[in-house]
Structure 1
C-alpha cells in the first residue's frame, strides 16, 4: 500500500462561491459562527488574514474529539478562487508526514461548486486515509451554506 494519497470532493454551494472564498480568505475567524459544533475558532499567529505566508491555527471538533491545527496559507489564487493551507502542526501531524488542504471554487452552468482537495503522506501503513476529515469538510460546507441561505 502506498503512503501518499489524495481525496477530492466537490459540493454545490447555493450561497455563492465568492462568499465562500472570501470567508476562508479574509474572515476565517468568523467560520465558528456558521458552524460552532465543528469549528470553535481560528486565530492569527503571524501575518495578516487573506495573505500568502500567514500562519493561522484552528480549534475544531472532529470525530467527537477536540483538535487543533496550525497552518500556513501557502497559495492564494483570486482568479481561480483557490486557497492552499499547508499543515504545520497539530493533531493531523501525529499521523501524517505532510498534509495540504486546497479549497477551490468552480462555477459550471451558474452552479458554484466548492472543491476540497486533501493531499497527504501517511507516516506508516497503519494510518487510515482521512475520509472522515473529507466528510467533515463536506458537512462544514453545508453548515456555512445553511447559515447564509437558511434551511432548504
Structure 2
C-alpha cells in the first residue's frame, strides 16, 4: 500500500445544484445550522467568504470525537460548481501530511450529482485510509440536500 491516495464518492441530490454549490462557496458558515450534529462551527480566519486563499476554521464531529481543521480555499470553479479545501492545521494533519477535499456538482441527464474527492498522503503505513472523512462528507451532503428540498 502506498502513502498517497485518492477517494471519490458520488451522490445524487434532489435539491438545487446552485444552492448546494453556494453553501460551500459563499456560505459555509451556515452549514452548522443545517447539519449541527456533524459540523458545529465554521469561522473565517482570514480573507473573505467565497474567495480563493481565504482560510476557514471547521469544528466537526468525526467518529464521535470533536475535531478541528484550519483549511485554505485552494480552488473555486463556478462553471464546474467546484470548491477545493486544503488542510493546513488541525486533527487531520496529525495523521496525514497532505489532505485536500474537493466538492464538485455535475449534471448527468436530469440528475445532479455531488462528487467528493479526497486526496491525501498518510504519514506512515499504519494510518488508515480516510474513509471516515469521506463518510462525514457524504452525511453532510445528505443533510444539506434534505434541507434544500424541505425549503
Alignment root-mean-square deviation, CA: 0.7
Match of 1:67 in 2: 67
How far apart are the structure 1 equivalents of 2:117 and 2:2? 18
Deviations 1:67-90 (A, max 9, x none): 001000010011111111011001
Q: Cα deviation per residue 1:24-73 (whole Å; 9 max; x = unaligned)?
A: 00000000011000000100011000000100010011100000010000
**Which residue does 1:130 correspond to in 2?**
130
Unaligned runs of 5+ in 2: none
How far apart are 1:139 and its partner, in Å? 0.9
Structure 1 moving runs of 4+ over 4 Å: none
> Matched residues in 2 for 1:132 and 1:74: separation?
22
Query: What is residue 14 of structure 2 aligned with on the other side?
Result: 14
Alpha-carbon distance in 1 for matches of 2:19, 2:72: 22
Q: Aligned to 2:145, what secondary structure does the other structure show?
A: helix
Determine the C-alpha separation between the residues in 1 that align with 2:84 and 2:22.
Answer: 14
**Distance in 2 of aligned mates of 1:54 and 1:136:** 22
How far has the Cα of 1:135 moved from its partner?
A: 1.0
CA drift at 1:132: 1.5
Deviations 1:96-137 (A, max 9, x none): 000010011101111110100000000000000011211111
Q: Which residue of 2 aligns with 1:144?
A: 144
Structure-2 separation of matches of 1:116 and 1:98:
16
1: CA distance, partners of 2:135 / 2:44: 25
Which ranges of structure 1 fall in alignment gaps of 5 or more residues? none
Match of 2:87 in 1: 87
Task: Give the TM-score taking structure 2 as reference length.
Answer: 0.97
Give the alignment of 1:3-42 within 5 angstroms. Answer: 3-42=3-42
TM-score, structure 1 as length reference: 0.97
1:56 corresponds to which residue? 56
SS at match of 1:116: strand
Report if the CA contact (8 A) 2:67-2:91 is conserved.
Answer: yes
Q: Secondary structure at the match of 1:30?
A: helix
